[in-house]
């Protein structure tokens, strides 16, 4: 059931019916009144009503017009139309446009109360059914992604496993190069699949990140140790000496963001330096604010892509041509943004063409005793 107040709108260009209906239903509903169709549409556009009772014949917009506009604003709003001049054609038109009931003036008090109660019950049923459908659809999407993830990962793990076995077998130099190339291509393909699945899961999930206890310095050092660093790049970290040994927070999400930011920095920096920097400050004896940043000396980013936020769009790169010099799906920064949003953080960018870029985010963590 809805937790909002029961809201009703009474629409009539005559004062008598407006006041009568308002008095009848004021104990059960939060009743608003409108003396014209135009006023009714304006009030409905500010916040849709659960139930609308409108006269058919009015100066300006008619009750049929009100019915049509109200249903555009919220298809679930129950609309009861009243008229002193009932015709079959008018009734047919009102019902075809979504009216719940069509009643003739003067209305019977008991009858209209019964109709209103039935319409409000129908509103609750329809909105709750829609919520159930949305939940079922989301559950089906999640289940589909789990199946796809399993069906793609299982053979991929087998491929990589047998490539590793093949590399350990007696091969001549040319064969070793072929196997190494196959492995590199497989790993890139595997990473693209994982990015797509992760982005899809995170985009539809309302689940909160799972918190765990971890050492932030160890997280960064492992990240650097696992990175593939070209010989032309110096990879370094800046970690404060007084960094707490153990904190509690969304370790996995922080690792994903840092790994993506570091991967981008290494990919787009032809030569120079990439630095992963960590700073922290105590907000109180147990809560800290950590700032993670990845700095590079690469080409920098066109200001236009920073101004309109396009660099965070899915499947987008600053150079979107087929002849671009850097591969990738353009999902890395999109993933970072989706995860940062879940953490209540923001990806901050400071870049200058020809002088490199810095990507950073801040996240709250809790101190834990070692």
List pLDDT tens digits, range 50-66.
999 998 888 889 889 99
Cis bond before residue 106 (omega within 30° of 0): yes
Tell me what pLDDT residue 4 has: 66
Q: What is the pTM of this model?
A: 0.49
Least confident of 77-81, 263-267, 272-276, 314-318: 314-318
Residue 164 confidence (pLDDT) above 60? yes
Q: How distant, in Å, are the alpha carbons of 176, 186, 339, 342 from that of 172?
A: 6, 21, 45, 50
* Residue 205: band (very low, low, confident or very high) from pLDDT cuts 50, 70, 90: low
Q: Which residues pair with 345 in a beta bridge?
A: none
| Under 8 Å between Cβ of 33 and 24 | no
* DSSP character string of 271-297: SEEEEEEEEEEESSSSEEEEEEEEEE-
Q: What count of Cα atoms within 13 Å lies in the side-chain half-sphere of residue 185?
A: 8
| Under 8 Å between Cβ of 82 and 47 | no
Place of tokens 């922290």: 280
Place of tokens 């049923």: 125
List pLDDT tens digits, range 322-340.
334 444 445 667 778 888 8
What φ, ψ does residue 344 adopt, rounded to 5°?
75, 25
- Closest Cα partner for 9 from 39, 26, 34? 34
Percent of the chain topping pLDDT 70 = 79
What residue segments make up the domains of the chain, in order of their start?
7-107, 133-204, 212-367
- Closest Cα partner for 273 from 175, 213, 355? 355
List pLDDT tens digits, range 283-320.
999 999 999 999 999 888 877 777 655 666 544 444 44
DSSP 47: S
The span from the CA of 9 to the CA of 53, in Å, is: 6
DSSP 311: G
Tell me what pLDDT residue 327 has: 43
Which fold, 7-107? Rossmann fold (3.40.50)
Tell me what pLDDT residue 279 has: 94
The span from the CA of 296 to the CA of 298, in Å, is: 6
Tell me what pLDDT residue 361 has: 93
Ordered alpha helix ranges (H), the chain = 15-25, 37-46, 63-73, 88-96, 109-167, 173-204, 216-226, 251-268, 303-307, 332-343
Q: For residue 127, what are its two tokens?
A: 């909105």
* Residue 150: band (very low, low, confident or very high) from pLDDT cuts 50, 70, 90: low
CATH class of 212-367: alpha beta
């Amino acid at each position: 059931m809805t937790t909002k107040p029961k809201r009703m709108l009474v629409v009539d260009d005559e004062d008598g019916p407006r006041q009568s209906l308002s008095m009848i239903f004021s104990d059960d509903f939060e009743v608003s009144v409108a003396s014209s169709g135009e006023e009714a549409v304006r009030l409905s556009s500010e916040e849709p009503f659960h139930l609308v009772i409108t006269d058919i014949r009015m100066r300006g917009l008619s009750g049929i017009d009100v019915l049509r506009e109200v249903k555009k604003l919220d298809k679930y709003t129950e609309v009861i139309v009243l008229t002193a001049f009932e015709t079959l054609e008018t009734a047919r038109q009102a019902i075809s446009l979504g009216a719940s009931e069509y009643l003739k003036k003067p209305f019977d008090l008991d009858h209209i109360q019964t109709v209103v109660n039935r319409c409000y019950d129908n509103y609750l049923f329809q909105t709750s059914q829609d919520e159930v459908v949305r939940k079922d659809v989301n559950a089906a999407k999640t289940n589909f992604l789990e199946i796809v993830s399993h069906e793609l990962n299982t053979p991929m793990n087998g491929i990589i496993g047998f490539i590793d076995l093949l590399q350990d077998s007696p091969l001549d130099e040319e064969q070793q190069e072929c196997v190494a190339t196959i492995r590199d291509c497989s790993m890139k393909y595997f990473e693209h699949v994982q990015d797509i699945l992760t982005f899809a899961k995170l985009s539809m999930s309302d689940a909160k990140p799972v918190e765990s206890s971890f050492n932030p310095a160890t997280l960064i050092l492992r990240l650097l140790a696992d990175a593939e660093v070209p010989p032309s790049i110096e990879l370094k970290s800046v970690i404060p000496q007084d960094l707490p040994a153990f904190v509690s927070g969304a370790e996995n999400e922080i690792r994903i963001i840092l790994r993506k930011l570091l991967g981008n920095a290494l990919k787009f920096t032809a030569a120079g330096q990439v630095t992963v920097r960590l700073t922290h400050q105590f907000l109180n004896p147990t809560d800290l604010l950590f700032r993670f940043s990845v700095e590079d000396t690469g080409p920098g980013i066109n200001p236009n892509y920073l101004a309109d936020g396009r660099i965070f769009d899915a499947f987008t790169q600053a150079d979107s041509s087929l002849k671009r010099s850097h591969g990738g799906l353009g999902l890395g920064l999109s993933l970072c943004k989706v995860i940062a949003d879940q953490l209540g953080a923001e990806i901050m960018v400071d870049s200058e063409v020809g002088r490199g870029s810095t990507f950073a985010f801040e996240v709250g963590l809790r101190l834990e005793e070692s």
